[in-house]
Structures are given as C-alpha cells and as structure tokens.
Structure 1
C-alpha cells in the first residue's frame, strides 16, 4: 500500500509504517490510517439555533440533500439564514459539541481504480456523500470503490459529542489501492462533468433578431436518466422574458411580422404574443404533427404523420425491403393551418409520404420531396422533387433523383444538396472510372423547373450539410471540413464560398435572422473547450459570446493538451490526426496509448465530448491518437470516393501506418501498451485490424460488423449503406468482396485480446454481428469478451448505461495496458 497524503497519527508504529508506505518499500494492508485533518475542511455551525435536527424530522434526508449543493460549490463561505460561514482547516477546530449542522469537505485523488473502507469515528449522526451520491454504510463504515480521478467528499454531521474525537480512517483493500486527499479547488476532468454539464439542446432566433429561444439540458444524480430541460425566451440583451415551466415546448416557429411565436406543447399548438407574453391555443389533437413553418403571417405548413392501426396479427407479411423499419408503414403528409380559425387543410395525399422542403410565399408555391414509390427495392431509392401551386393545386416535377438530401428556394431557382452523382453526375470531380461517394454532399442550382442544373461546389472540398437561404439569395451552410464542422456563406452573385469566423471547431446548431444584415445564433465546441452559445454578425464576420458552459461545469478543471499530428501515407496522401496528452505528463516515462478511428464515410469530428470522450481518456493516463483514414468526407471527392468497394483496405493501411508514425514521434508512448477501438464501421475496423496486425495489445469493437453479408441483409439500413460502400457489388456478383473483407472469415488470425460491446436492441448493426465474432473466437480459444447492453440500440444514450459503458472500456484497457485488472474484475469477475 502506498499512501501519498500525510497522516496524523498518535501511534508511533503507524508513523513508521506511513514512512515505509510513502517510500514504496513496505506493504501492509491491515492497518487503517487516519486521514490528515489539515487536508480536510470544516464549516459550521450552520443554523446553530436549530432546536430539532433534520434526522429528528420525517424530512431529514430531503433537508440535507437541499443543503448539499451549496456545500459542494468551490466557494470560501456559505450563507445560512443571513449569517456567513467560512470553511477552515479541520485541524484548527477545537470544539466539543456544536449546535445546528457541521460539515467536512475534502477531495480524494486516485491514479488507478482503488477500493477500501472509510470509517468515521466520533460521529453519532451524519451523512456521507461522494461525488454528490449518498453512501450507504454500517455504523459509519463505508466500502468504497473509486475510479481513476478526482472525487469530492462531503460529510454532513448532525450530532457530535466531541469534535476532538472525530477522525476519518481509510483502510485499503490491497497494497495497490493508493489514495491522496487534498482540499484543492482544481480537479481532473470527470465522466459526470461531460455528461451532466448544461448544454444548449435547442435554439431559435427571431426574424428581427430581437428575441431568441434556447433550451438547456442538464443531468444530475437526483434526476438520474431523466434530463432537466429549461426553455427560455430572451431578448437581445440576454434577459429572460418568459420561462417555460413543466412540459417543454417544441417545433418553435416565428411569424414573419415578428408578432408571434408558436410552438407545440404535447398535442396542442400554442401561440405566444411577443409583446405582452399572452398565450392562446391555436389547435388541439395534433398527435404526430411536427416541423411547423410559417407560410405567411397567418398560416403555417407542417408535417402530420399517421401510424397504421395495430391489428394484433400473428403474422406480418413484408411488403418490401423497408418494411423491416418500425416506422415504414407510417405515412406523413403536409398540411396548412390557419391561425385565425384553426382550420387545417391537406396539401398532399396518397400512400407515399411527402416532406416539406421550402415555401415561396410571393409565388404561392411549396417545394416538397417524396419517394417515387412505396417500399422501393433499390439500393438507391429514388426521390422526386415536386412543386405545388397553392392556387391551382397543380404539381410540377423537378425530377427523380437517386441521390438527394434537401432543397431550398432561391429567387426563381432552387438550391439542392445532393451527392456528386446528382443529375447524371453533374457534381462529379473525379478521375474517369472512379465511383463517387454520394455521402459527400454537393451544392447545386436548379433552374427552369429542374431542366437545368449548375454544380456550385465541384472545386470545394468540404462536404455540404445543412442549408439555409438568406433573404438576398446567399446560402448559409454548415459543412464537414476535414474534422471540423464550420459555417460557410455561399455568395450567389460572386459564386464563391466564404468561411465564417465562429471561433468553434464544431457548430452544433444555428438559427439566423431575416434582417438586412442578418445575424446567426449558434452553439458549439472546440476539441478542448466545452460548449458555448454565440451571436454572429455575418457582415462583420464577428461573434459575441452569450453563454459559456465552462465556468458553470468545468471551472478549475484540468483539460488535456491537444496537438496536431499528420503523416503522409505510402500513397503520398496526407492523413490528418490529433493527439490528446494527459495533464502534467511526464515525458521521461513510458505511457500507454489509445488509437481511435471511424473509417466510414465521416471523419471523427473535434467535439469536446460525445460518445467517445477523448479528453476523459487522456485524463485517465492515456495518450490518445485520433486519425482520419482515407474514405471520409470533408477532404475532397477523390478522398471520400476511395471508401467505395474498399471495406477497410485503405483504412486499415492508414491506421497501421499512422500508429507506426505516431509511435515514432511520441517516443514516450510504450509501443507494447497501445490499445485501439472504434464503433459501428469503426467496430468493423477493429475486428478487421485484429486479423491483419498484432501491433495492438488490446482492442475494443462497439457495434461492429463481422460479416458484410449478414449486415447487408439484416441491418435496417445495411443494404442502403452498402449501396455506397459496396456500390454495384452484391454477394452473388462479388463474393470475394463480401467474404475476404469480413473479419469472421479470418478469425483464426486474431491474436489480440478483443472486447466486443453491443446493444441487444441494435437495429442498425444487429447484435448478431458481435455474436458471430464471439462464437468464432471462443471456438478458436482466443482471448475475447462480449458485453451486451440490455435495451440499448446502436448508441448508448441513457445516463446509467453511458457511465457503465465508459467505465467498461477504461477498465478493460487498464487491465491489458496498465496491468491493473482490479476495476475490470470488480465490474465483471464472477458475473
């Protein structure tokens, strides 16, 4: 046992043992050592005139829970009933009994998973909280299991006979369970911070930019898996005008005349008067209604879907490929609602769903898209773009397209976002004979009712995503540019793209005004800074900060250092990447590393957090290398087109070469302690790499594909995705592609320990993909584990599952890359 903090002891033997422990030359686990009081803070008495203590009431725990939040804050004092109380070192306290409540506070720092017993002596009634969670103990003795990181400890004492006799003793379970205690306000980044921190989950800017709506989502131990969402209407000075309590609004839309804000609340459509904040109900019974847009000041266009009645049949006769989808038989049509009378009229009808693209009020036209037929048996279902004349009800078709994302009016023409193959390859910028990757979005201008097309982005490498049109016809677009997602302005008159200065790597959401000099409200992050809300003046190309989550949730938090690391592969192509370095990394020592990738059609973007928390991994002692292998969008059409019919060929080579280059540059990384992981297509890559190289010491595949044929046939969107990834290739005409690139066909070559993670309700990549690989490797007597998450689909969303999932990955790597199996054993040994 090694203990880093000083101990205060009265026993000479304990003092000698502590010296040995600190030097690492003596190991003894049977001794419980008192924690140093100088590293513990004390506050009290709080509410000293309290005649009845909380534990003497039927609401005792609720009273303590409400006080806890104030005690947790990194402030020097706490105000209670008008009296200010300051924190002081516990070793300075010289009191017998005190009135009211008292509290102790300190941090436990661990550098590995540690277990032990904390015993609190001299306290008759108290509650112990670690990381804001109430601990259950017997006679003030608590069994602790602490993950690698910083842990806040608060003891709320209600009854103490003599504070001089109060002590806190920690007895580790083993000599490896090393803890340090301190009162520092600085902490290491934690999983709880990354998940629970408040984030802007919705935003909408008024046409005149004088008001905006934001929804902020956060989580806590109290709400568990239930998010706490707060939606507010604010003015341009960021003052709250109205706060939505209880049920939260959705489908927010602003009237063009700037008088009203409409939104749905349950199945009702509400209207809020922006001047006097009065609210009235416009319509009821709108179950299945969504996507409300003002057509003019007194009417809205929206989508209204209808699910078929459940006939409780014992069988289901499939009508087509899409019928596997749970929503395939839902039909959605467009409707128009009059805000004065509440009358609703249908704009589209029939067995085929229609989607709203845009409306042109001056011309009385509505732009819609629809599938050509129900249940199309095609790897590239056709989408038809049509225009509805509201006066004559005449429908004009602009064409049927194998690739189509969305469309918007621009004057008399139409902007379209689609892949390079749109309109017979109008957007292709590829060598002859090379197949395009139609996930690489391009911008087009359609004119003369779709007869003429002009490709606008053939020489623009970023992939076009979300599109909006300003009043002057310029396009405001969100793109994927390498591993960033910035905003660009397409100047229609000059036919050129201009990058907007948002100061963010990833623009998550944005909304714009309809002024002469439009403004943009946007939220996003960088790779090393958490979410911010900003207002952008397009003409000045300058942003103002409105809201920042860092001081709210990440104050005094250590964030890893980020470095750019690119290399040139064997084909002479630069492969970009980035490296996260743990805080205060000692480069004279060797450290374990993790290599992360996706390998599908999208790059791994530079979000501060997400499903795969690179910053958290780094703060857990790993050097983290993230690379963008060949085939991703955002690097130009030729780069993304190499994803087609490759299924890991270029990607695996890039990952292997990139890891070799990474190890050469970062010589403080232990080449024998490198792990790799990926999800979905990245999970497929992890399995495939395990059949090609033994350079990794441990591997994790989440929701990975082991057999291309079964994924193609069983995954809800398997055949659709394969329509690009395996373009024109099928099991019957290219069996070699499907077999030779499927990891399970090469399972006998695997030598690396492999962890398979999968949700048992995954419809995108069915769990059978992991079961197949697990079966093969088990029969081959390979080192393989399979963890199945109950009720989880392709992604792990629920808070409790997310924490368990993150812990599982780190515990597995700690076992194999750090030689620390205790965390993994605590989670799964004997289960």
Structure 2
C-alpha cells in the first residue's frame, strides 16, 4: 500500500497531526495537505502474553534493539513466538489497548535539508528510530534534522492506554522545511546502504576447485566503526561446511592436495583437516609474520618482519629519503616452516629486506625482490630480482631495475610486471623524446637466468595490474581498461590477450583453482549495481552469480540512471566520461551539477560505491559528470605519458572543455549552479582550476596539493610520485614547473568559493598543503573554508568520519548551488 500526502509548513507554529479532528481542520486550509493514518503502517501485538514490558526489565534497550532489524525489513509480515503478524494501515486500527509491543513505520521524504520536531501523544513508553538510529526523547518530543532523501521512521511502543487517542504531531522549524510522509517501501539510495551493506571482503578457492572460502563484512549502528565479519568454508555447491564466527581468520592458504588449510587466528597458526574438520595448532609467537603459502604438503613459506626497538634517543638521524616512513627501518625476510614440528628456518638474510615473489618447490627455487641498497638517496630506488637455490643456498641476482612491480614463475621463464622503462625501456611504445609514465603497468617475459627479456604488452592499451599464473603457464591479470577494471588471460603460446567475461565494470578480487581448465571466483560491481560474487570456468560461457548484495542491502532501492558522455578535446583525442542522472529527473526543470575528476595517473573507475559516491550525489538531486582527463593509465602509453611534467596542463583544459560540452548537451543543467571537486591530485586540480576559470560556482578540494615543491619535499611518498609526475625536473633545474603550476602562486586569481578538506594526520599529502591555500585566500579576503578531520590520514575510512565527510560535502554544495544553507549551518553553526 502506497498512500502519501504532503505537508508543507508555512510557519514555525503550524502543526499536523494524525488525529481525525486535526485532519479535518487541515483539509479546509490551502496551506497544507493533511497527513492521515494511511501514511503509516502498524503491526502488533508482538509478544502478546509477555508479563512485563521491556521498560519494566533490566534489559530494555537490548530487547528493543534486537527486535528492530525485523521491523526494518520490508517484508509484509513478521513471525514472532509462532504467530504470523501482518503490517496493516494504521487507519484500520481501532483497538483500545493491546498486549505486548506494537510498532509504527512510515517514510519521511524531503527535497532539502529539513528540521522540526515530532511529538508522540497518547503513547506512554516508546522508542523512535530513524534509519536505524535511536533518537533522544525529551518530553515525548524528538528534535529532527533530515537530509534530502527518504528516511525510515520506526516507533516501537510499549505502553498505550487507548490507540484511538494516539497522535503524531510534527512541527517544522521554519516555513522552508518540507516533508512528505508515506507508507511506501520504495526509497532512494542512502549513505548507510553504501557503507553498511554486506560485501564479500575476501575469497579463496581450493586448488582442486571443490572448496572455497568467503568473508562477508558489514557495519551496523550498534558496533559503530567496528566492522562485523563472518568467514565460511563452502563446498562447490555453495553449502557451508564450517563457519569462523569467534574471530576473523587471516593469511588463509590451501595445501596443494586441497585436503587441508592453514590460517592465522588470535596469534596462532592453525591447521584445519578438511576430511574430519580437526583443528591443530602449528605455531605461536608469530608477530610480524604474514603471507603464508604451502611450499609443499609439509611446509609453509612466508615473510617475517622485525621492527627495531625504540633506542630511547631524543633525536632521529635520517639515513635516507625513505627514513621519513615510520616503517622504513623494519626488515623483512623469507622463512620456511615445517608443519609437523613448527620449526622455522630463514631463507634470506642480510641488512636488506626481501619480498617473496614466487617459488618453485619442484626445482627448489625461491624468487625474491629487494631494494638495491638499504636506504636510497635516489628518488628512483632500484629493485633487484634475486633467486635462491635451496639445495646450494646460492643467491643469484637476475637483474636490477628502476621500475618493478611483480614477478611470477612460468614454464618458459619469469613473468614480470613493471612500467614501460623496464630493462632500459623495453616496453616503451611512445613517440621519440616522450617520457614514459611508469605507473602504466606492462607485462614482460624474462628468461630464467635473467639475461633475456621480451615485452608482451606494448600494443595492449590496458594497464597491467595484479598478476597470477595458471597451471598451463598462461597469465591471469587484472588490468585497468579505460575507466573499468577487467580480467584478462594472456595466452603464452599464442602471445595473445583474451578478455574474461565477468560481466563487471570493476573486478575486485580474484581466486582460481589449479585445474587444467580453472574455475574462477571473482567479486565486482558495475557503475549502477552493487557487489556480486560470481563463478566461471575459464573459456566456458557466462559467469554464474553465487552471491548478490542487492536483495540483501538494496531491496526496494532506486538508483540513478547512467549515460555515457564522451567528447573530443582540442588535440583530437576522445575524452571519456559518464553522467549520473537523478532517478526522478524532470527534463523541464533546471538542476545543479557536480563535476568530479582525479587527473592523476589513474582513471576514476566505475565502482558502485567508494569514497566518492556518485549515485548518492545523484539521489540528492545533482546531475553528476565524471570526466577522465588526459594523463590516466588504461588508455594507452601515449595518453598516460602526457601526465609526466605536466602538472595539470592538459588535465585542466580537458575538465574545462568537457564541462562546457556537458552543459551544451544537458540543457536541464543550470550552468550557474555547477560545482567541482576532486581529491589528492584531484584536490590539486580543484585548486588549480580555481585559478584558471570562474565557470564553477563552488569547489571542494580534499587533501589537495597547493605547492608542488612542499609536497615533493614533505609528503612521505612525494619524491617518489614526483619521480614520474616531474620526471628529471627539480626545483633547481625547472623552477617554472614547481612554482607556476602550483595553485598557491596564483591564489589572487581565485573567485570561486572553495572548501578545503584534509585529514590532520595525512602522511601522503601533508595537511600543510591545505594550510598554504587557506592562508593565502584568507589574506586575500576570498571565500574559503578549511575543515580538518582529526586523526584521519589521506583517506577517510572510519564510518563516523565517512558519514560526516559525505554530509559536509553535500551540505557545502547545497549552500552554494541550491541556495540552501541550513544543512551547512546545522553542521557548522556560526558562533
């Protein structure tokens, strides 16, 4: 049943009520439509024969909280103590009193941030929940602050003398506050759904394909920032065989014969026999150990790190550039552990940390990488690829490379992923004189002795990412392909890349069996659909859905529609983009818009959710344009190479011209109400754009770079990133690049209102980068705000901070693009 009425407040004193008398009175006015009881659902009695109500016990809050999820569910009925109870329209309720508990449920929808108060009349004891959060009651009244969108109200009542006298009165704070009440189940996408909904956070398939493990993660109000996990062992038919509920296992690895698995749990390395489900402890005291893999059926290979103890000195003498990293003096070595006895022996040694790349148990070889020296002074540290012969303990250096990502054995040699400059530019596919972007991953085949190498992906535009090797020697790789993340098989015999049809825009996690025709598990999303877990057999038809988050976390949810929008820039290059449209868009109206970009060396991929929730912004009434400007990987080497030594030169033009083309096509977007935002390099772009154009009406920069020199010298990884973004350029040999491309040097040109957001513990882009710009703009009398998140690093991960951060961005744009400052003033009141 979906009956809705609209209440529009014309003064702070006007009230609406569910009582028949008030409804009659309101219906005779032109100021507002009445809200009747048909807008509310009722259920009860719940637990009709309970002798004491929850408020009469010592555990009231727990009892109510445990009941709440069943009431939040959109099902038409609830079974409680064996009785089947149906939700019904509240206007059909005529009882005086009822036993047990009762509940009222309705939806409040707002087209803008709205405030007011809800008063419960005729209800002696109750608790109100809005979107699952318990509200604070004062004299039977609740102060409300509702962001734009749909909100679920649930009132759980414990004591009502006469249901015929129950009234729910809503008083608006001002005449601008507008709320629509209904009993509808369909609702718009919410921030809580995007963050809290269950996701598969880990997958692992047994070598024989007969078993797999999944970990599901979700969040809820009761546990706040603490994620909840359930890890399960399943058979090939998706039946649960074993459930890890007491804690979250990590470092899960399968035996080669698929008869057992090993994992870390509560500081113990445990062995689970899959035949009889018998558990045994292999070893303890493994702090710093990670990456366990079965070397053979009787031993494990792993990495073991050791951090230096605090020497108690008052000073720290820097030994090199990496010493700015808190973990720089931690060393890591590769060990072998005997399962029957728990005895470990070291395989690598010396002052240099070694990273395990791969191993060949049959031939007794271990492949490792290490820094060429302990503390690099060079901004381009070299990596050595080394091989250990277990029989002789001989360590052979296979090569030293300035760009290196990953290495894996195959029958014909060693696969290596690295940038185009690997092995003296072996992978370069660029015009003469153009510098390569080594974030654009390439695939190579190295001979076993390291003396010969072949480039395998020079003509393959997607950027190579995570590498796996199949039993037949082919490579299974994740790649960035334009604005998607895809899965490819590299056929080693035919030297050909074959796309694996997963049906996802963004492939997240991959696991596979070691069969001749491997079975593959994969998680992912599309731009408009939430996460799924799928299984497929390589080269055999479509993927089968094993698990889907949509019916669990997004039932009855409306999602923005998506359109592709590309344009050709001034250099004749097609610039990709996409546009999110509000699900209820009326093309006869004028809408505000948001333009989002990164502009760094990777594209903005098409994930359903993430740190920047495009679907949520569209739900809040914004048309959202995501543009992929010049310089990103995934579009070919020449496209990505234009990122080098540019610092926004091409990127700014693409964003400005793309926005103009976007406005020309979408005539229902108000060109006077367009905002822009980006983070990290995208935050740098926001500041830079503010010095170049006044086409935007409000701008947000999160963790942006305002001074390229200070970022280069102070960020933990600033000099490493600048080794590509400013290749061969330094403040002393190219001062023009470092100064004239830095936004703070042009702060006097800024006319757009600007919000600077930053974590005060950001190690990547230090918070001083926002301080630079804030100081300059304040001294210039510009419209600027600065908000820091306490304890946050470069990204905002914690649930409470994430919600506040999302709200802050939307409230800022509402203030500047919708002429609705109330939400911003509520979050940041003037003193």
Higher mean Cα deviation, 448-457 or 665-674?
A: 448-457
Alignment of 1:86-105 (within 5 A): 86-105=86-105
Q: Contact 1:7–1:15 at 8 Å: present in 2 too?
A: no
Higher mean Cα deviation, 87-96 or 489-498?
A: 87-96
Q: Contact 2:643–2:725 at 8 Å: present in 1 too?
A: yes
Q: Residue in 2 aligned with 1:47?
A: 47
Higher mean Cα deviation, 644-653 or 250-259?
A: 250-259
Shift of 1:13: 8.5
Q: Residue in 2 aligned with 1:666?
A: 666
Q: Contact 1:3–1:18 at 8 Å: present in 2 too?
A: no
Q: Contact 2:250–2:265 at 8 Å: present in 1 too?
A: yes
Question: Matched residue pairs, number?
Answer: 820
Q: Contact 2:17–2:169 at 8 Å: present in 1 too?
A: no
- CA separation in 2, counterparts of 1:482 and 1:18? 57
Higher mean Cα deviation, 264-273 or 798-807?
A: 264-273
Higher mean Cα deviation, 11-20 or 252-261?
A: 11-20
Higher mean Cα deviation, 233-242 or 262-271?
A: 262-271
Pair 1:685 & 2:696 matched: no
Q: Residue in 2 aligned with 1:753?
A: 753
- CA separation in 1, counterparts of 2:24 and 2:32? 12
Q: Contact 1:441–1:464 at 8 Å: present in 2 too?
A: yes
Q: Residue in 2 aligned with 1:717?
A: 717
Shift of 1:35: 4.2
- CA separation in 1, counterparts of 2:21 and 2:578? 52
Q: Which of 24, 31, 42 is equivalent to 1:20? A: 31
Q: Residue in 2 aligned with 1:10?
A: 21
Q: Residue in 2 aligned with 1:150?
A: 150
Q: Residue in 2 aligned with 1:198?
A: 198
Say if 1:9 and 1:464 are closer, same or farther in 2 by CA, change over 3 A. same
Q: Residue in 2 aligned with 1:820?
A: 820
- CA separation in 2, counterparts of 1:826 and 1:245? 41
Q: Residue in 2 aligned with 1:29?
A: none
Q: Contact 2:19–2:166 at 8 Å: present in 1 too?
A: no
Q: Residue in 2 aligned with 1:545?
A: 545
- CA separation in 2, counterparts of 1:774 and 1:13? 56
Structure 1, gaps ≥5 residues long: 23-33
- For residues 525-560 of structure 1, give each alpha carbon's deviation from its aligned partner in whole angstroms, at most 9, with x where no partner exists: 000000000012103142111000000000110000
- CA separation in 2, counterparts of 1:79 and 1:576? 51
Say if 1:301 and 1:327 are closer, same or farther in 2 by CA, change over 3 A. same
Q: Residue in 1 aligned with 2:165?
A: 165
- For residues 205-235 of structure 1, give each alpha carbon's deviation from its aligned partner in whole angstroms, at most 9, with x where no partner exists: 0001110011111000011000001111011
Say if 1:668 and 1:154 are closer, same or farther in 2 by CA, change over 3 A. same
- For residues 732-768 of structure 1, give each alpha carbon's deviation from its aligned partner in whole angstroms, at most 9, with x where no partner exists: 0000000000000000000000000000000000000
Q: Residue in 1 aligned with 2:466?
A: 466
Shift of 1:170: 0.4
Say if 1:462 and 1:18 are closer, same or farther in 2 by CA, change over 3 A. farther
Q: Residue in 2 aligned with 1:31?
A: none
Pair 1:625 & 2:637 matched: no
- CA separation in 2, counterparts of 1:225 and 1:624? 29
- CA separation in 1, counterparts of 2:291 and 2:47? 52
Q: Residue in 1 aligned with 2:355?
A: 355
Shift of 1:16: 5.5
Say if 1:17 and 1:736 are closer, same or farther in 2 by CA, change over 3 A. farther
Pair 1:446 & 2:446 matched: yes
Pair 1:340 & 2:351 matched: no
Pair 1:116 & 2:127 matched: no
Alignment of 1:384-463 (within 5 A): 384-463=384-463
Q: Contact 1:7–1:18 at 8 Å: present in 2 too?
A: no
- For residues 558-582 of structure 1, give each alpha carbon's deviation from its aligned partner in whole angstroms, at most 9, with x where no partner exists: 0000000000000000000000000
Q: Contact 2:19–2:165 at 8 Å: present in 1 too?
A: no
Alignment of 1:473-552 (within 5 A): 473-552=473-552
Pair 1:792 & 2:792 matched: yes
Shift of 1:106: 0.5
Q: Contact 2:110–2:147 at 8 Å: present in 1 too?
A: yes
- For residues 660-711 of structure 1, give each alpha carbon's deviation from its aligned partner in whole angstroms, at most 9, with x where no partner exists: 0000000100000000000000000000000000000000000000000000
Alignment of 1:695-710 (within 5 A): 695-710=695-710
- CA separation in 1, counterparts of 2:562 and 2:360? 46
Shift of 1:363: 1.4
Shift of 1:351: 1.2
Q: Residue in 2 aligned with 1:367?
A: 367
Say if 1:514 and 1:448 are closer, same or farther in 2 by CA, change over 3 A. closer
Shift of 1:246: 1.7
- CA separation in 2, counterparts of 1:517 and 1:248? 31
- CA separation in 2, counterparts of 1:278 and 1:43? 47
- For residues 775-797 of structure 1, give each alpha carbon's deviation from its aligned partner in whole angstroms, at most 9, with x where no partner exists: 00000000000000000000000
Q: Contact 2:18–2:169 at 8 Å: present in 1 too?
A: no
The DSSP-based 3-state class of the residue aligned with 2:223 is: coil
Alignment of 1:735-814 (within 5 A): 735-814=735-814
Q: Residue in 2 aligned with 1:263?
A: 263
- For residues 470-498 of structure 1, give each alpha carbon's deviation from its aligned partner in whole angstroms, at most 9, with x where no partner exists: 11110000000000001000000000000
Q: Contact 1:679–1:703 at 8 Å: present in 2 too?
A: yes
Q: Contact 1:301–1:337 at 8 Å: present in 2 too?
A: yes
Higher mean Cα deviation, 460-469 or 66-75?
A: 66-75
Say if 1:12 and 1:75 are closer, same or farther in 2 by CA, change over 3 A. closer
Q: Contact 1:518–1:539 at 8 Å: present in 2 too?
A: no
- CA separation in 2, counterparts of 1:47 and 1:86? 14
- CA separation in 2, counterparts of 1:169 and 1:477? 59
- CA separation in 2, counterparts of 1:210 and 1:438? 39
Shift of 1:412: 4.4
Shift of 1:19: 2.4
Q: Contact 2:332–2:354 at 8 Å: present in 1 too?
A: yes
Shift of 1:14: 4.0
Q: Contact 1:500–1:541 at 8 Å: present in 2 too?
A: no
The DSSP-based 3-state class of the residue aligned with 1:341 is: coil
Q: TM-score, normalised by structure 2?
A: 0.97
Structure 2, gaps ≥5 residues long: 1-6, 11-15
Q: Residue in 2 aligned with 1:59?
A: 59
Q: Residue in 2 aligned with 1:129?
A: 129
Say if 1:12 and 1:479 are closer, same or farther in 2 by CA, change over 3 A. closer
- CA separation in 2, counterparts of 1:639 and 1:12? 64
- CA separation in 2, counterparts of 1:324 and 1:18? 69
Higher mean Cα deviation, 358-367 or 620-629?
A: 358-367
- CA separation in 1, counterparts of 2:210 and 2:184? 43
- For residues 714-733 of structure 1, give each alpha carbon's deviation from its aligned partner in whole angstroms, at most 9, with x where no partner exists: 00000000000000000000
Q: Residue in 2 aligned with 1:25?
A: none
- CA separation in 1, counterparts of 2:306 and 2:362? 31
Shift of 1:12: 8.2
Q: Contact 2:739–2:745 at 8 Å: present in 1 too?
A: yes
- CA separation in 2, counterparts of 1:756 and 1:342? 53
Aligned-residue RMSD, C-alpha: 1.3
Q: Residue in 2 aligned with 1:286?
A: 286
The DSSP-based 3-state class of the residue aligned with 2:484 is: coil
- CA separation in 1, counterparts of 2:825 and 2:561? 31
Higher mean Cα deviation, 570-579 or 74-83?
A: 74-83
Shift of 1:651: 0.2
Q: Contact 2:17–2:170 at 8 Å: present in 1 too?
A: no
Say if 1:12 and 1:106 are closer, same or farther in 2 by CA, change over 3 A. closer
The DSSP-based 3-state class of the residue aligned with 1:252 is: strand
The DSSP-based 3-state class of the residue aligned with 1:635 is: coil
Q: Residue in 1 aligned with 2:4?
A: none
Q: Contact 1:35–1:168 at 8 Å: present in 2 too?
A: no
The DSSP-based 3-state class of the residue aligned with 1:640 is: helix
Shift of 1:522: 0.7
Shift of 1:3: 5.7
Shift of 1:7: 6.8
- For residues 383-407 of structure 1, give each alpha carbon's deviation from its aligned partner in whole angstroms, at most 9, with x where no partner exists: 0000000000111111100000010
Higher mean Cα deviation, 697-706 or 94-103?
A: 94-103
Q: Contact 1:9–1:15 at 8 Å: present in 2 too?
A: no
Q: Residue in 2 aligned with 1:606?
A: 606
Shift of 1:9: 4.9
- CA separation in 2, counterparts of 1:697 and 1:753? 7
- For residues 317-344 of structure 1, give each alpha carbon's deviation from its aligned partner in whole angstroms, at most 9, with x where no partner exists: 1111110101000000000001112110
- CA separation in 2, counterparts of 1:62 and 1:544? 40
Shift of 1:39: 0.5
